[in-house]
Chains A and B, each alone.
Chain A
Amino acid sequence: MFGIIVGLWPSVAISWRDLIEFFTYNGIATSVLSTLFVSLTAPLVALYISFMVYSQYRFNPRWQALEKRLAPLLSLPHLAVALGLVYLFSSGGLLWSSLWGIFGATAPQWLGLPHKSLVTLLLAMSIKEVPFFLLIFSALGRQLPIKSWLLQGRALGYREITSWWLLVFPVLLKHSRLALLAAMAYTLSVLDIALLVGPNIPELYAVVLYNWQTGFTVDEQALAFVGNLVLIVMLSILIAGIYTHEWWAVRNLRHHAIRRTSLKIIRVSRLFSHWLGLFSLLTLSILITFLIWSLGWNNQQNMLSTTPIDWSFGLWRDEWFFMRGPLLNSLYIALVSSIVGVLTTLLALELQRQAKRYLPDYIWLMAILLPQLSMVYGWQISHTALNGSYHTGWVVISHLPFTFAYSYLVLRGPFQSLDRHYELVAASFGCSYWQQFWKVRLMLLRPAMLSALAIAFSVSVAQYIPTLMIGAGRVSTITTEAVAIASGNEQSITAVYMLVQASLPFVAFFVASVVSQRLRGSFDVSHQ
């Protein structure tokens, strides 16, 4: 807490001149607006797509396949998805040039994604967030009697798909607020993807802010402070956006429900019944791209030409020796910090339940919401002031706020919407309060807890700034290595590290999806 204040507090005096300089910085308005636009739109697009997919697949035999296939894309770093998309689909990208190449022609320039633009960023972020929302829905759906709502809807003469929108969507939307907020906060402040595929005339806000934060002149420090404040204001605009959208969507749906007019979005929904195939294809092509990069393939070697491509495992062989240590560190840190994060979340939720008072969500999600660089800088100051050693334990502690926040956002919905009658029944059988908690509540929450664990685990694996700033290079993880290496844009080695980095969360998500399919939570009604 102290660290946050230290980190965000201006290190220099702020004057009017700095404010004026901030607001007259060329392109700042466009930067702020386009950043707000992407941050608001990408998560919402992802949410809608996820809901349409969820409604098409939930009570469909393919649901379990879908849950398992989410793991690879969930675990690939955002940057990898962006890299893969641009490589495959940009103008002059692999897809178009090989399609045209078959006919011996060159693909037209206008075809494909622009290399750096708002659209590309929007697309990359939306695609990457879809599996995240599906995971959230899956955790939530187990606690909600969706099946009986749909049944009631049908009894009232609505088609199933209409019932999904009219009855299920408003509830899921309400319970997804935190996930939306997290996705928005992430998009708002993400740096590496913004640099790679975001527009840079003008630059996105996160990039502008980063340049100030890492500039050390007095002027830049002042601008960075103002910039942090503006970032927080932008966040509150996004929060307002979440509520406004929810209000608007629910009102609209209610109108439809009352007037029984047909919903246009239903027609779009249908498109997503083939999503699994497309999605698997996309994931697969990104993975294959990275795999062939890592084996040394590059554009100088033409797939269609007669000269053999010299595939080589050399890079893997060379780097493996150096990756083992960081990989184990990542594993250990992520295991401890995700487990502790989930336990603390349960504690926080239980204490609030007992007090019958829920604190505002943004307090719990603070770690995701505040500007990370400045916040962690504050921790670093406190850490050095305490003469803290550069021990793995400290790194685990620095990951906790993040693993906690993410597991809180996954678990809060299921925890609160758990049908309390189960505990009431258990009480009538003579179970004490804690017996009810252990034997009923926790047991019913197991699938959601697994999702929370997997997400917290992957969040911990992905931490670069806290690990570097608190671990001080004594504790190197696969991510500190991967992020540093990715900054050099060297295709093949970046691919090696990103694949290895993705492997840890992949295992976590995969195990979680397999195990949770064997567990039964409330309303875990399989396709009968």
Chain B
Amino acid sequence: MLASLMPLAHGQETQRDNAANMTASPQWQKILSDARGETVYFYAWGGSKPVNDYLRWAAKEIASRYKVRLRHVKVADISEAVSRLKAESGKQSAIDLLWINGENFSFLKQQELLLGNLWSSIPNSAMLAVQALSLQNDFGVPIDGFEVPWGVGQFNMIANPNIFNLNIAGKVNDSKITPTIILKAAQQYPNRISYPRPPEFHGTTFLKQLLVGLSHNDKRLFEYATPEAQAKLLPLLWDYLDQLHPLIWQQGRAFPSSNTEQLSLLQQNKLDMAVSFNPNQLIKEQQEKRLPPSAQRFHFAQGAITNSHNLAIPKGAQSPAGAKVVINFLLSEDAQKQKLNGSWGDPTVITPLLDPASTLPSQQELHSSWQQVIEEQWQQKYGA
């Protein structure tokens, strides 16, 4: 036990040292002095009070430490920022920093609208837990220094406890569930289960988790989705959904539009479960007394699909130095600790704070080609 922790502790120190060395470097000092007095316009989804509060805290800290003003530009959907970058087409940008991942990142990277070499120029990125977490890829697209991981999402489900505590095939172990348990629960409690309508990202991930479970982690899921693999694997999912849908909320004739809507339906006791990418969401909701103390967190037996959400700087940013200072601060131990322990509860991405006990066992993300296949076929089968 002790032996296995040693290299981690050792690695941790080296990473800290690297970060400290980079911080002392003249390049970074120059960036710090350039950044003074700059205003950083940070485009980020504004739908979560904990996140908004966290950014207010960060803004205050950054202002007093670095004399940089951080302005959170709240958007309802980050695609609004992506469309702005597209309209500006690489020229001077109104955006200095944005919070993205997945398809939006992949589009911006491919259009060469993002500033590169972030990892090598931002000191605290040396502390990123690249070994423990898969932080090199964003939905199968190599990050290549065009964005910096900020936090980690792990797919989990929040549910009223009785719903999955069925004595099927033994006791539900360690809050781990399988597609079969969900189906049994739906039979026992019709109308009480649902998931966000794909292509909403949480809904699609739910389908991916089901597919992993149903195919017993078939390795073809992590390779390009060939027609043969599709023909072999996808029917497992569709057969399952054919059985499940008549038993779920509104008999599958309507779905929540988003995970947040599903959560509010759970809060209003109109559903018995919700999905989330934040493993600490349950605790935070309970602290705010928005969910009963009896509610529980579950994850899929094969592990929780894990991916990072990230920070990127547009090529045309007018305060790139300020933006880098902000990223550096957000990756600092102080900021990451506050993020984890404050009302947000978003898991850390830096090694010094990594706590294996609080993270869920992780499940590798499917090859990116599966996403579109699953969404399109779902639409074809259940979308109308």
Contacts and interface: CB of A to CB of B under 8 A. Distances in A.
Direct contact, A vs B (beta carbon within 8 Å): yes
A25 B376 CA distance: 9
A214 B77 contact: yes
A384 interface: yes
A199 B71 contact: no
Contacts of A214: 77, 79-80, 82-83
Contact of B46 (A211, A469, A481): A481
Interface in B37-89: 41, 43, 45-49, 52, 56, 71, 73-77, 79-80, 82-84, 86-88
Interface centre among B71, B91, B94, B191 (most CB of A within 10 A): B94
Contacts of A480: 74
Interface string A365-390: 00000000000010011001001001
Interface stretch (A108-116, A173-181, A343-351): A108-116
B380 A26 contact: yes
Contact of A301 (B52, B80, B289): B289
B224 interface: no
Interface in A462-482: 464-465, 468-469, 472-474, 476, 480-481
B41 A473 contact: yes
A201 interface: yes
B82 A115 contact: no
Contacts of A468: 73, 75, 80
Given A299-B267, A300-B290, A464-B76, A486 B47 contact: yes
B166 to A, nearest CB: 22
Given A469-B80, A490-B49, A299 B268 contact: yes
B332 interface: no
Contacts, number: 154
Interface residues of A, number: 56
B76 A483 contact: yes
A23 interface: no
A301 B292 CA distance: 9
B159 to A, nearest CB: 15
Q: Residue among B84, B254, B291 with the most chain A CB within 10 A?
A: B254
Interface residues of B, number: 58
A412 to B, nearest CB: 33
A163 to B, nearest CB: 45
B260 interface: yes
Contacts of A25: 379
A57 to B, nearest CB: 36
B329 to A, nearest CB: 20
Contacts of A203: 197, 383
Contact of B258 (A115, A481, A483, A489): A489
A483 B41 CA distance: 18
Nearest to B39: A474
Contact of A299 (B46, B75, B269): B269
A300 B292 CA distance: 7
B199 to A, nearest CB: 7
B370 interface: no
B232 interface: no
Interface in B147-176: none
B55 to A, nearest CB: 11
Q: What 4 pairs between A and B have smallest CB-CB spacing?
A: A27-B384, A488-B47, A473-B73, A484-B46
